[in-house]
Amino acid sequence: MICPIATRDIKTNLKNRDWAFKEVGYGPANPEEPNKVFWAARAEEWNTTPDQAKTMRCGNCSAFIQTPSMMECITNGIDAEEESYAEDVVENAGLGYCELFDFKCAASRTCSAWLVGGPITEEREVEYDDPFESSIKSSIEENNG
């Protein structure tokens, strides 16, 4: 896997994360605080109650990527040294990667783009069809058929 630039470049990550704070309501700033105003705003946006809104976190969003290879990208991007606290940082912050907005994301936060059904934790192989290959095969079959 080629690691996303935001997992290895802190300036890119901060730029993308700051954009999410400003443009899509990423937060709350400190998820360990009550944040009543923040959760009331999310509840109004999502037409639900603050208690229900509090259940809609990055950690259970479909765009929150925590596959083994992505977690390795995030950990190595923090510090690739053998003896570092990178794994502790990742675990304590509940980090994953936001596929929608391209930054390292904390599981305890949320944003306006929250999607049901996450996180994504299993690797998958993606095979891309070559349109030229299938076009050639069709031409050969037509000419031989």
Phi, psi of 106 (to 5 degrees): -90, 130
Residue 81 Ramachandran class (φ > 0 left, ψ -120 to 50 alpha, else beta): beta
Tokens representing 2 are 């080629």
Band (25; pLDDT cuts 50, 70, 90): very high
Number of H helices, E strands in the chain: 7, 3
Band (129; pLDDT cuts 50, 70, 90): low
Phi, psi of 120 (to 5 degrees): -90, 120
What distance in Å separates the CA atoms of residue 7 and residue 113, rounded to the nearest whole number? 20
pLDDT at 130: 56
For the chain, give the mean pLDDT. Answer: 89
Q: Which of 10, 1, 22, 2 is nearest to 103 (CA)?
A: 10
For the chain, which residues make up each domain, given as ranges?
5-144
Residue 127 has pLDDT above 70, yes or no: no
Higher pLDDT, 143 or 72: 72
Map residue 102 onto helix, strand or coil. coil
What distance in Å separates the CA atoms of residue 7 and residue 12, rounded to the nearest whole number? 9
pLDDT at 83: 76
Residue 128 has pLDDT above 50, yes or no: no
How buried is 68 (Cβ within 10 angstroms: 0-12 exposed, 13-18 middle, 19+ buried)?
exposed
What distance in Å separates the CA atoms of residue 28 and residue 50, rounded to the nearest whole number? 13
Q: What is the pTM of this model?
A: 0.82
